[in-house]
Structures are given as structure tokens and as C-alpha cells.
């Protein structure tokens, strides 16, 4: 007999919370009991669709004995307050990226987690996204040889049409927290901690928001692996790609989330193959969370791990004096 679905409260019924709730239900292992948003109408609409109870206050969700866990998809500036409230109420927590906007807030979340005896996972979903997942697996298997250099770009044109808080540094933390956190976390998870950082930021185009027009990072990893990352909101078209140079292959794409667009150039005698999964990455991520909860194992992305990504971003901003 399969175990009963996990009873979950959704905190944040915005664009991503709504999507995450649908993925969660799709696992067949989660039942959304309560949907919470400070916008009461938004909470009510989604709660009706999900046959859940609507709340406009996280405390009300956390006080419910029929809720065992929460999915938190509120703006990042509120992540610490919301995660700590849920952990103190004894709930298991799945927290969207970025974990928080400061190292101090990450430490406070991790302290609350340790004191609660509950588990926290942070949603760094790029670890389950193709082609990133398959490249990481191939690198770890040794078939790509040594990592030499990586170039990543994620250039945005219409990004700020999504949600107003994303354009305010107090709300989103800036481009590195809201967008680059995906690639920076993936890089850490595959190649280890960054040893050196240089950052250049430009903000001079006329705009109604506070985010970087252009942010360029130069990251040094152990063993001489280097990465250049270029992002920002001041570009004339969206463009998202990478070029990763390894000892035995160069792997590149100008459509970063489309495995069909990956080009592999082999540099040695051994054929290089990437084994792409067909599973929806958000589904795989939630399944990994549920598996770890069921087996009482360490989370695939722990609070300590996600806090290191926040520390990297904070260091990158400090390096630019931002």
C-alpha cells in the first residue's frame, strides 16, 4: 500500500507558487490542504481550484495540525521570516530559491531548522534541469576529463514584466539573487566552492527598476577551472546559453534549456554521450524532496548548501562595491 500523501500548505500563490502546486499534485504524493497569500483573492481563487482552504496569513497555515509541510514561494525578502515561522511550528519546509537575501538570514533559517528537528530543502531546480543534469553526471563519471573553462550568459529584455518586487533590490536582492542564483548554485554543486571572484556591474540605462543593466562575473574554481558569467536586464533580446570546455569535449548551447540544441565537440578518441532525462525537472526535484523526507535522509539541497550559494552571491556583489 502506498503511503498517504503529504499534507502541504502552499505559502505564496503567485506565478510560481501556482505552478509548483500543480507539479506537487502531479507527483500523486502531495495533497495541498491550504493555500496562503497576502492577496486574499489570489489565495481564494487557487484554494478553490485545489479544493484547499484559503488563508491570508502564514501563521494560520502553520497553526493547522492537518498541515505537515509547507511549500514557500513568496518573494525572497520574506523567505527567512516565512521559513522560520514554519519550522518553529514544526512543519517540514520546501523553500524556493534563493534561500534568503543575506548570509545572516540563511544562518537564522538554519538555526531554526536545527532547533526544530525538521528538514529544509531549497529549490535549486537547475540541478534537475537538462542539459545541466546530464553534463554534471558526465563530468562526475570522468568521461569529460578536466574542466577548463565555462562561459554562461543569461541576457534579459522583458524580464521585468513579471512581478514588480523583482525590480527592487530590497525585494529580489538583484539579478544575481533572482536569476543567476540558478547557474551559480549549479556551478558550486558540480565544481565545488569558488576561490576567487571579480565582478563588474553597469547600471546606466534609463529604467524604472533597480536591477543591473549588465553584470559580469569572473569566477575561479579549484584546479584552475574558470567561469565567465554575463547577465542583466539591459539587453535588446533574451539570450540564454553556455559553452563549457573540458579536456575531452566542448559542450555548448545557445538555448540553454533545450537538450536538442546541445552541440558536443569531441577532443579525444572516446565518444562523449550525454544521457538526457525526459522527467519534468520540477517533478524530479519534488520527488527527491519527498524521497528524502520518507527515508529520513539528508536533503538533496540542504540549508547549508543553499546558504553557500547566497554567500557566493553576496561576495560577488561586495566585489563590485554594490
Ligand X SMILES: NC(=O)c1ccc[n+]([C@@H]2O[C@H](COP(=O)([O-])OP(=O)(O)OC[C@H]3O[C@@H](n4cnc5c(N)ncnc54)[C@H](O)[C@@H]3O)[C@@H](O)[C@H]2O)c1
Binding site for ligand X (CB under 6 A): 11-17, 36-39, 42, 58, 73-76, 78, 96-97, 123, 125, 163, 165, 178
Helix axes 103-116, 303-319, angle to 10 degrees: 170
Q: Please say which residue, 59 or 198, places its beta carbon nearer to ligand X.
A: 59
35: β partners: 10, 54
d(CA 95, CA 312): 19
Q: Please say which residue, 14 or 234, places its beta carbon nearer to ligand X.
A: 14
- In the complex, what is the shortest distance from the CB of residue 24 to ligand X, in angstroms, rounded to a whole number? 13
- In the complex, what is the shortest distance from the CB of residue 31 to ligand X, in angstroms, rounded to a whole number? 20
Residues 6 or more apart in contact with residue 190 via CB below 8 angstroms: 135, 136, 139, 140
- In the complex, what is the shortest distance from the CB of residue 187 to ligand X, in angstroms, rounded to a whole number? 16
Q: Which residue is nearest to ligand X (CB)?
A: 14
Give the distance from CA 132 to its chain's centroid. Answer: 13
Q: Please say which residue, 15 or 266, places its beta carbon nearer to ligand X.
A: 15
- In the complex, what is the shortest distance from the CB of residue 132 to ligand X, in angstroms, rounded to a whole number? 12
Q: Please say which residue, 69 or 249, places its beta carbon nearer to ligand X.
A: 69
DSSP string of 61-101?
Answer: HHT-TT--EEEE-S-GGGHHHHHHHHHHTT-EEEEESSS-S
Residue 81: count of CB within 10 angstroms of its CB: 15
- In the complex, what is the shortest distance from the CB of residue 300 to ligand X, in angstroms, rounded to a whole number? 14
Q: Please say which residue, 109 or 272, places its beta carbon nearer to ligand X.
A: 109
Give the distance from CA 252 to its chain's centroid. Answer: 22
What is the total residue count of the chain?
Answer: 322
DSSP character at residue 268: S
- In the complex, what is the shortest distance from the CB of residue 87 to ligand X, in angstroms, rounded to a whole number? 16
Q: Please say which residue, 57 or 247, places its beta carbon nearer to ligand X.
A: 57
d(CA 183, CA 199): 16
- In the complex, what is the shortest distance from the CB of residue 180 to ligand X, in angstroms, rounded to a whole number? 12
- In the complex, what is the shortest distance from the CB of residue 264 to ligand X, in angstroms, rounded to a whole number? 26
Reduced to 3 states (helix: H, G, I; strand: E, B; else coil), residue 293 is helix
Three cell numbers, residue 243:
559553452
Looking up cell 529549490, which residue turns up? 123
Contacts 24+ apart (CB under 8 A), 288-291: 288/128, 289/94, 289/121, 290/6, 290/27, 290/29, 290/30
Q: Please say which residue, 150 or 173, places its beta carbon nearer to ligand X.
A: 173
Q: Please say which residue, 86 or 293, places its beta carbon nearer to ligand X.
A: 86
Amino acid at each position: 500500500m502506498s503511503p498517504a500523501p503529504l499534507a502541504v500548505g502552499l505559502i505564496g500563490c503567485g506565478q510560481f507558487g501556482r505552478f509548483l502546486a500543480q507539479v506537487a499534485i502531479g507527483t500523486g504524493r502531495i495533497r495541498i490542504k491550504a493555500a496562503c497569500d497576502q492577496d486574499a483573492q489570489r489565495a481564494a481563487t487557487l484554494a478553490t481550484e485545489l479544493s484547499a482552504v484559503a488563508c491570508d496569513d502564514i501563521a494560520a497555515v502553520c497553526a493547522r495540525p492537518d498541515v505537515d509541510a509547507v511549500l514557500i514561494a513568496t518573494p525572497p525578502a520574506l523567505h527567512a521570516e516565512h521559513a522560520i515561522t514554519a519550522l518553529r511550528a514544526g512543519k517540514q519546509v520546501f523553500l524556493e530559491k534563493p534561500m534568503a537575501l543575506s548570509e545572516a538570514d540563511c544562518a537564522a533559517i538554519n538555526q531554526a531548522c536545527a532547533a526544530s528537528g525538521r528538514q529544509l530543502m531549497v529549490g535549486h531546480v537547475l540541478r534537475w534541469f537538462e542539459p545541466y543534469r546530464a553534463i554534471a553526471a558526465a563530468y562526475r563519471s570522468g568521461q569529460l576529463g578536466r574542466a577548463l573553462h565555462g562561459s554562461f550568459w543569461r541576457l534579459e529584455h522583458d524580464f521585468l514584466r513579471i512581478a514588480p518586487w523583482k525590480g527592487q533590490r530590497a525585494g529580489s536582492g538583484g539579478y544575481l539573487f533572482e536569476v543567476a542564483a540558478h547557474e551559480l548554485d549549479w556551478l558550486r554543486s558540480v565544481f565545488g566552492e569558488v576561490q576567487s571572484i571579480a565582478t563588474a556591474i553597469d547600471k546606466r540605462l534609463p529604467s524604472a527598476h533597480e536591477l543591473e543593466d549588465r553584470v559580469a562575473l569572473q569566477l575561479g574554481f579549484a584546479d584552475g577551472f574558470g567561469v565567465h558569467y554575463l547577465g542583466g536586464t539591459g539587453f535588446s533580446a533574451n539570450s540564454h546559453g553556455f559553452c563549457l570546455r573540458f579536456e575531452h569535449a566542448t559542450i555548448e548551447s545557445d538555448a540553454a534549456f533545450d537538450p536538442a540544441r546541445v552541440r558536443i565537440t569531441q577532443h579525444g578518441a572516446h565518444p562523449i554521450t550525454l544521457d538526457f532525462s525526459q522527467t519534468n525537472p520540477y517533478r524530479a526535484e519534488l520527488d527527491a524532496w519527498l524521497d528524502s523526507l520518507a527515508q529520513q535522509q539528508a536533503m538533496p539541497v540542504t540549508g547549508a548548501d543553499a546558504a553557500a550559494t547566497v554567500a557566493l552571491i553576496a561576495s560577488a556583489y561586495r566585489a563590485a562595491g554594490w
